Amino acid sequence: MAYLEFAPALQRHAAAPPVTAPADSLQSLLSTAFAQQPALQSYVLDEQGCVRKHVAVFLNGRLLHDRRRLDVPLAPDDRIYIAQALSGG
Amino acid sequence: MRLSVATRKGLFELSQRNGDWDVDALHFVGEPVTAALHDSASGRAIAALRMGHFGVKLRVSDDRGKNWEEVGSPVFPPKPEGIEDSNPWTLDQVWILEGFQSKHPQRLWAGTHPGGLFRSDDGGRSWHLIESLWNMPERKQWFGGGYDIPGIHSICVHPQDPDDIVVGVSCGGAWRTRDGGNTWTVGQGMRATFMPPEGQLNPVIQDPHRIVQCESNPDVLWTQHHCGIWKSTDRGANWSEITTARPSNFGFAVAVHPRDADAAWFMPLVSDEKRVTVNGSVVATRTRDGGVTFDVLDAGLPQRNAYDMVYRHGLDIAADGAHLAAGSTTGSLWVSADSGASWQTVGVRLPPIYAVRFI
């Protein structure tokens, strides 16, 4: 089972409980999360389906750099962490 | 009378008590609010948040801002494979909100970065892109002015005909539709001195910083353009340059009297190359004769070491035609009750101001 957790900064705006689900890709895990909390999608992805410019997705603590590719394979017990990137003023 | 002030750190509402303006509500503290629109009659309001991390979010209120609800934001359609377009098809910010007209209380318009025009017919809960403008070949000539991408900052809906709309684009000219957005024509006569000589009169790349219409005579439009001041008396088909403004004809903001099309106000800056107040003095300029002459209005405005800049949505005139408000990108706010003849400094230190509006 893959595990997905959202940073507190996002939970300030939308309900974003952790998700534990069978998923063979990041796309699949995100789809499960968005099915449970539809409002979350627009906070994480833009309308072209890419990870927002100032959102960071970590796979087992490693930052994923390609915002357009969500077909990243997941192994059982992989952990995804979605946070706000450092930006703004 | 109340004031709505959209800032980099939230949406402020101010009212007058014992003659002094003060903040009596703050919404979305900490979030950039790029545009807001209130309907004083019904108490409805809509605000556009540009969250630094999580994109653009719209919030609506039915009870004068006591409670806000998140609603759907404008979204661009999927970008077709292989299409040549240097603009992203993703919403960066809502730059202007208009609507809440009494005859069509549910209809709203949003102008965005990139240069999209969106319409809602359900009070802002859902939006659709006006594809005729977005798919127009001329849009490929638009470019960003002060931003990386072009944007729509002005939407002038005819007070009697909701299908007759003029929009202003930086940098993309002034466009009019008379059929609710099915077809568009661009106005002629503006001049872009930042272009090579052969392209300066190209109407499609002009940079009108802000366009406003006279509510009682909407054939008359005023523009503070990147290269000066222009006026139209035929609802944007043709534009004539006004060269008499002093101390400068450069700036971003313009307001026009709701019942006197010859009366307009501006907040001048030195020039394109030097976007600061002239000699460190904040002044407003006003014409009351259609641009033949201008008054320089400085009573009550800071005259020493004041480098405040009033951005394109930072100046507004109330329905009474007498009250004006100006908010600066350094967070200063001034209000006039006598058509700009004198100004009162609002004694609050606000975040950078994006937009002011009388409610």
Residue B114 CB burial class (10 angstroms; 0-12, 13-18, ≥19): buried
Residue A15 near chain B (CB below 8 Å):
no
Please answer whether residues B253 and B310 qualify as being in contact, where contact means their C-beta atoms are separated by less than 8 angstroms: yes
Mean pLDDT of chain A: 92
Report the residue of B9, B54, B81 to disrupt the A interface, i.e. the one with the largest count of A CBs within 10 Å: B54
Residue A77 near chain B (CB below 8 Å):
no
Residue A87 near chain B (CB below 8 Å):
yes
Which of A65-69, B4-8, B202-206, B296-300 is least confident? A65-69
Contact across the interface for B53 and A84, Cβ inside 8 Å: yes
Instruction: For chain B, give the percent of residues with pLDDT over 70.
Output: 100
What pLDDT is stored for residue B145 in this prediction? 83
- Check pLDDT > 70 for residue A89: no
Q: For residue B88, what is the nearest residue in chain A, using CA coordinates?
A: A48
CA–CA distance, B212 with B246 (Å, rounded to integer) = 20
pLDDT tens digit string along A20-61? Answer: 999 999 999 999 999 999 999 999 999 999 999 889 999 999
Contact across the interface for B54 and A13, Cβ inside 8 Å: yes
Q: B194 to chain A nearest CA, in Å?
A: 30
H-assigned helices in B60-179: 131-134
Residue A7 near chain B (CB below 8 Å):
no
Q: Sheet holding B117-120: strands in order across?
A: B93-101, B104-113, B117-120, B128-129
Residue A65 near chain B (CB below 8 Å):
no
- Check pLDDT > 80 for residue B327: yes
Contact across the interface for A47 and B52, Cβ inside 8 Å: no
CA–CA distance, B72 with B91 (Å, rounded to integer) = 12
Q: For residue B49, what is the nearest residue in chain A, using CA coordinates?
A: A13
Buried b (16+ CB within 10 A) or exposed e, A55-72: bbbebeeeeeeebeebee
What pLDDT is stored for residue B140 in this prediction? 93
Measured CB to CB, residues of chain B less than 8 Å from chain A are: 51-55, 57, 70, 73, 75-79, 88-91
What pLDDT is stored for residue B278 in this prediction? 95
pLDDT tens digit string along B232-250? Answer: 999 999 999 999 999 999 9
Please answer whether residues B265 and B214 qualify as being in contact, where contact means their C-beta atoms are separated by less than 8 angstroms: no
Contact across the interface for B89 and A47, Cβ inside 8 Å: yes
CB-CB: which of B54, B75, B91 is closest to A43? B54
Residue A39 near chain B (CB below 8 Å):
yes
- Check pLDDT > 60 for residue A88: no
CA–CA distance, B12 with B25 (Å, rounded to integer) = 6
Residue A69 near chain B (CB below 8 Å):
no
Q: A89 to chain B nearest CA, in Å?
A: 9
Please answer whether residues B313 and B355 qualify as being in contact, where contact means their C-beta atoms are separated by less than 8 angstroms: yes
CA–CA distance, B78 with A47 (Å, rounded to integer) = 7
- Residues of chain A positioned with their CB less than 8 A from the CB of B70: 39
Contact across the interface for A88 and B76, Cβ inside 8 Å: no
Q: Sheet holding B228-232: strands in order across?
A: B208-213, B221-225, B228-232, B240-242
Backbone angles phi, psi at A28, to 5 degrees: -65, -45
What pLDDT is stored for residue B226 in this prediction? 96
Contact across the interface for B53 and A44, Cβ inside 8 Å: no
- Check pLDDT > 70 for residue A87: no
SS3 sequence, chain A? CEEEEECHHHHCCCCCCCEEECCCEHHHHHHHHHHHCHHHHHHHECCCCCECCCEEEEECCEECCCCCCCCCECCCCCEEEEEECCCCC
pLDDT grade, residue A11 (50/70/90)? confident
Report which of residues A53 and B341 the model is more confident about: B341
CB-CB: which of A46, A85, A87 is closest to B55? A46
Amino acid found at A41: Q
CA–CA distance, B51 with B35 (Å, rounded to integer) = 13
DSSP class of B141: G
Distance from first CA to last CA of chain A, Å, rounded? 38
CA–CA distance, B330 with B77 (Å, rounded to integer) = 36
Amino acid found at B352: P
Sequence-distant (6+) residues with CB within 8 A of A80 are A2, A3, A4, A5, A26, A29, A57, A58, A59, A74
pLDDT grade, residue A10 (50/70/90)? confident
Contact across the interface for A43 and B55, Cβ inside 8 Å: yes
pLDDT grade, residue B141 (50/70/90)? very high
pLDDT grade, residue A8 (50/70/90)? confident
What pLDDT is stored for residue B328 in this prediction? 98
* Total-model pTM: 0.94
Report the residue of A10, A45, A48, A87 to disrupt the B interface, i.e. the one with the largest count of B CBs within 10 Å: A48
Sequence-distant (6+) residues with CB within 8 A of B197 are none
CA–CA distance, A84 with A10 (Å, rounded to integer) = 7
Strand boundaries in B102-227, DSSP class E: 104-113, 117-120, 128-129, 151-157, 165-170, 173-177, 185-186, 208-213, 221-225
Give the closest residue to B71 by CA, choosing from A13, A48, A17, A39.
Answer: A39
Instruction: For chain A, give the percent of residues with pLDDT over 90.
Output: 79
Distances (CA, A) of A45 to A17, A20, A67, B244: 17, 20, 9, 50
Contact across the interface for B53 and A85, Cβ inside 8 Å: yes
The residues with which B256 forms a beta bridge, in sequence order, are: B264
Q: A7 to chain B nearest CA, in Å?
A: 12
Q: For residue B79, what is the nearest residue in chain A, using CA coordinates?
A: A48
CA–CA distance, B210 with B323 (Å, rounded to integer) = 20
Q: B61 to chain A nearest CA, in Å?
A: 17
- Check pLDDT > 80 for residue B314: yes
Average pLDDT over residues B95-109: 95
- Residues of chain A positioned with their CB less than 8 A from the CB of B91: 46-47
**Dihedral sign for Cα atoms in the order B302, B303, B304, B308:** positive
B300 Ramachandran zone, left/alpha/beta (phi>0; psi -120 to 50) = left
